[in-house]
Structure 1
C-alpha cells in the first residue's frame, strides 16, 4: 500500500467515524416519521457532506490529531502550530534512529568480541547526520566500554521514544483545548493590564515587581 492510498484510506475512515453519529440520528428520525405519499414534484435534498461536524467539536479535533498529527490544529485554524508539531516529531524520530543505531552496533561489537573470533569483529560503522555521515571506529574501545556505552545509548533511545510519544499526546491535548476555546469571547469588555512598580524605602531594601489589573466592564 503506497502513501497516497494510505492517506485516502485514513481520510475516508475519519469521515466515516465523524459522520456515524449523525447518520444514526437520521435513521432513528426516519423511523419515527410516518410514510407520506410523494407528490409529482421533485424534492431536493438539503443535506450536505461535512468532513467535520458543523458545530465546532473538541472530540472531532482530538480524533483528527490522533489520526494525523496537526490535523486537529488545522481544524481549529491554528495552522502555525503544525510545523512545530512536525519539527518536534522529526527531531525525536532522528534521536530514536541515532541512539538505537549506535546502541545496536556497540552491542553487536561487544557480542562479537565475546566470541573470541577477531576475524569477525566489528571495527567501524556509519551514523547518518543531516549534513552527512560520521564513521565511528571501535578499535579503541575495551569490551567493558562497549557494554557500558551500548546501555547508555539504549536508555537514550528509550527516552527518545517516550519524548516522541509525549509530543504526540500533547498534539492531541492541544487540539482538544483549542477546540474548547475556539468560540471563547475575548471582547473589549475584558482587558488585562501589566504595569511595573518600584517602591524605594528609607533604610530598607527597595521593592519592585509587576501589577496585573484585570478589568471587566
Structure 2
C-alpha cells in the first residue's frame, strides 16, 4: 500500500483531473491518504468460469452489461437455426424413409410431398448440413463468449495512461540554400 498525505492546497480546478489521473493508475484517495488499489489476478479466470456456466455472466462480472444482449442474441439465433433445421431434417427424412419402404409417404403434418426421390434426398442432406452448421455456430458463440469475458477481465487490469500514445505530425520546411520546400512526417511515441 502506498501512503502519502494529500495536500489541501490543490486548486479546485485541477483536483478533479488529478483524482481522475490517480484513479486511472489504480490509486484512490481515502481519508486523506493515497492508497494503491490491489489487482485481483484471479478475476479473468472467474469471469471465464461464470461465462462458461451461464453465457453472459462473465460480461456482467466485468460490468460490460451492453455485451449481454449480444451474447444472448448470437447464441439464441444459432440455437433457433439449429432447431428449425433439425425439425425440417426429421420431417424430410421420415418422408424419404417411407418412400423407400413403399409406404404411403407424407410429412409428419399430413402433407403429401410433391417431390421426387432425388429432391427428397437433396432436401434431407441440405437440412442436415445446415443443422450441423448451426451447431458449430452455437459452439463458436459459446466459446467466443468465454474468451471475451476472459480477455476483457485481463485488459481491465492494465494501466492506460493519457501519456501513452503515438503521434504523427506532417511538417513543411524550407531549404535556405535553394528556397524550395520539403515535406516530411514526424513520428513520435510517448511512454
The TM-score normalised by the length of structure 1 is: 0.57
Q: Does 1:66 align with 2:52?
A: yes
Conserved? CA contact 1:192–1:212, under 8 Å? no
Distance 1:194 1:82 in 2: 37
Q: CA deviation at 1:139?
A: 2.8
Q: CA RMSD in A?
A: 2.8
Aligned to 1:117: 103
Deviations 1:22-66 (A, max 9, x none): xxxxxxxxxxxxxxxxxxxxxxxxxxxxxxx96661111110000
Aligned counterparts of 1:57 and 1:170: Cα–Cα separation in 2: 18
Paired with 1:164 and 1:93, the residues of 2 have a C-alpha distance of 6
Aligned counterparts of 2:43 and 2:127: Cα–Cα separation in 1:
42
Counterparts in 2 of 1:185 and 1:103: CA distance versus 1, 3 Å: same
1:183 match: 157
Gaps of 5+ in 2: 1-38, 171-184
1:44 matched to which residue of 2?
Answer: none
In structure 2, relative to structure 1, the CA distance for the partners of 1:186 and 1:106 (3 Å cut) is same
- Contact 1:124–1:138 (CA under 8 A) maintained in structure 2: no
Aligned length: 139
Paired residues for 1:89-168 under 5 Å: 89-118=75-104, 121-123=105-107, 125=109, 139-168=113-142
Cα distance change on mapping 1:194 and 1:62 into 2, 3 Å = farther
Larger Rg: 2
Structure 1 residues 27-66: aligned runs within 5 Å: 57-66=43-52
- By how many angstroms is 1:123 displaced? 4.5
Gap change, CA 1:86 and 1:157, over 3 Å in 2: same
Q: Does the Cα contact within 8 Å between 2:43 and 2:153 map onto a contact in 1?
A: yes
Contact 2:91 2:107 in 1 (8 A): no
Aligned residue for 1:184, secondary structure, equals coil
Which consecutive unaligned segments of at least 5 residues does structure 1 have? Answer: 1-52, 127-136, 197-210
Cα distance change, pair 214–109 in 1 and its aligned pair in 2 (3 A)? farther
